[in-house]
């Protein structure tokens, strides 16, 4: 379980996540890194769900980016298609958020490729808490994207037992 949130605001896109790894009701690790920068393509990825499955998906996504010359739209569509149709991959239990300077997407094993309308999206056990907090902060404050992500994750950590305050936050300059 985890919480990943992405906010696109002003000239930044920011993706952040907590570091808690739980197995049932037990916290196994508090310092996992579930948000990663893919520097070759200037893409940030974040995952919620099974760690091994998420790493597999991140690697497959990076292969799709390589295959499609960094085109994030084509890469997410091909990953979602492969994830849904492949007999082995469809058993993977994870969700992914990916963002570059232009676009942010949620990708699921059901074939979902969702781009948020307002630049705010979240996944994981604390995702709804972080999403609500981020939407409220975007609508009612002038905070920058990084501050919104950080405050949203702290709020989620205060509510969700599967989310902690050990944060990883990555950011890119966005197209304004």
**Which residue numbers are catalytic?**
2
Q: Are 167 and 18 in contact (CB under 8 A)?
A: yes
Residue recorded with tokens 């979602």: 80
Residue-by-residue DSSP string for 117-167: SSSEEEEETTHHHHHHHHHHHHHH----HHHHHHHHHHHHHHH-TT--S--
Terminus-to-terminus CA distance in the chain, angstroms? 33
């Amino acid at each position: 379980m985890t919480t990943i949130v992405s906010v696109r605001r002003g000239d930044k896109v920011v993706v952040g996540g907590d570091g808690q790894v739980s197995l049932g009701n037990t916290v196994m690790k508090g310092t996992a890194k579930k948000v990663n920068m893919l520097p070759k393509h200037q893409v940030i990825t974040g995952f919620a769900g099974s760690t091994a499955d998420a790493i597999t998906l991140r690697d497959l996504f990076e292969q799709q980016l390589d295959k499609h010359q960094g085109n994030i739209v084509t890469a997410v569509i091909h990953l979602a298609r492969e994830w849904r149709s492949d007999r082995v991959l469809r058993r993977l239990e994870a969700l992914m958020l990916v963002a570059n300077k232009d676009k942010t997407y949620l990708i699921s094993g059901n074939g979902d490729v969702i781009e948020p309308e307002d630049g705010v999206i979240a996944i994981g056990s604390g995702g709804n808490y972080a999403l609500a907090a981020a939407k409220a902060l975007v609508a009612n404050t002038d905070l920058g994207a990084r501050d919104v992500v950080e405050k949203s994750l702290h709020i989620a950590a205060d509510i969700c037992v599967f989310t902690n305050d050990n944060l990883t936050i990555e950011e890119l300059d966005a197209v304004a």
